[in-house]
C-alpha cells in the first residue's frame, strides 16, 4: 500500500492592483492565482470555480457553482434595483438586468424565490429567458404577471 501525503493549502481572496480579485493558495511554493470575478459591462460576471480543502479527517467544499451563481444574481439584482427604483418605465435597459437574463435558466430558481416574496418587475426577465411564452395584451397588473409566471414555472418543472 502506498502512503499518500498532501500539503494543506489555505485559499484567500485579495484585491489586485489592476482591478478584480485573485484567489491564491498559501503554503504552496508557487501560489496559483486565478481571477475570482471580473467586472465587465458594469455588471458582475463571476467565473465558476470549485475548491476542495482536504484536512486530516474531513473534506471542505468551497463555493460551488450554485453558490457563485447566487452571489452573481444577488449582486446584479440589488444593483439593478438601486439604479432603477425611481424610474417610471424602461428599467429593463440596464446592464445589471441584462446580466441576470444572460444567466438563462440558471437564474430561474433565483427569480422564482424573489417572486415568492411578492410582485417584482424582475418577472420580466422570464419573458426574455422564455421568449414567446407569455403574450401581453394591454395593461396587465404586475401581481397578475407574477402569479402567471409562478404557475408556468411549476408546470414546466423548473421549480
Looking at the fold, whether 50 and 71 belong to one and the same domain comes out as no
Looking at the fold, whether 72 and 48 belong to one and the same domain comes out as no
> What pLDDT, on a 0 to 100 scale, did the predictor assign at position 3?
41
Looking at the fold, whether 56 and 77 belong to one and the same domain comes out as no
Q: What does the alpha-carbon distance between residue 56 and residue 116 come to, in Å, rounded to a whole number?
A: 42
The yes-or-no verdict on residue 30 having pLDDT over 70 is: no
Give the domain extent around 151. 66-156
Return the minimum-mean-pLDDT range out of 1-5, 71-75, 99-103.
1-5
Give the model confidence (pLDDT) of 14-29 as tens digits.
444 554 444 443 444 4
Query: Is 1 inside a domain boundary?
Result: no
Looking at the fold, whether 29 and 94 belong to one and the same domain comes out as no
> What pLDDT, on a 0 to 100 scale, did the predictor assign at position 45?
44
3-state secondary structure of 19: coil
The yes-or-no verdict on residue 44 having pLDDT over 90 is: no
Q: Is the pTM of this model over 0.85?
A: no
Looking at the fold, whether 49 and 71 belong to one and the same domain comes out as no
Looking at the fold, whether 79 and 146 belong to one and the same domain comes out as yes
Residue 4 DSSP symbol: P
> What pLDDT, on a 0 to 100 scale, did the predictor assign at position 152?
94
Please state the domain count of the chain.
Answer: 2
Query: Is 29 inside a domain boundary?
Result: yes
43 touches 98 (CB < 8 A)? yes
SS (H, E, C) 88-137: CCCCCCCHHHHHHHHCHHHHHHHHHHHHHHCCCHHHHHHHHHCCCCCCCC
The yes-or-no verdict on residue 43 having pLDDT over 70 is: no
Amino acid at each position: 500500500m502506498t502512503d499518500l501525503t498532501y500539503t494543506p493549502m489555505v485559499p484567500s481572496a485579495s484585491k489586485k492592483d489592476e482591478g478584480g480579485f485573485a484567489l491564491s493558495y498559501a503554503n504552496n511554493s508557487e501560489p496559483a492565482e486565478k481571477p475570482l470575478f471580473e467586472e465587465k459591462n458594469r455588471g458582475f460576471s463571476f467565473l465558476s470555480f470549485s475548491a476542495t480543502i482536504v484536512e486530516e479527517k474531513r473534506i471542505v467544499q468551497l463555493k460551488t457553482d450554485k453558490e457563485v451563481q447566487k452571489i452573481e444574481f444577488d449582486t446584479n439584482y440589488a444593483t439593478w434595483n438601486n439604479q432603477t427604483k425611481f424610474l417610471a418605465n424602461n428599467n429593463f435597459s440596464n446592464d445589471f438586468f441584462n446580466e441576470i437574463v444572460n444567466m438563462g435558466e440558471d437564474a430561474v430558481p433565483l427569480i422564482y424565490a424573489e417572486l415568492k416574496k411578492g410582485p417584482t418587475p424582475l418577472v420580466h426577465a422570464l419573458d426574455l429567458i422564455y421568449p414567446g411564452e407569455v403574450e401581453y395584451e394591454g395593461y396587465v397588473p404586475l401581481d397578475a404577471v407574477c402569479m402567471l409566471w409562478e404557475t408556468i414555472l411549476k408546470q414546466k418543472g423548473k421549480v
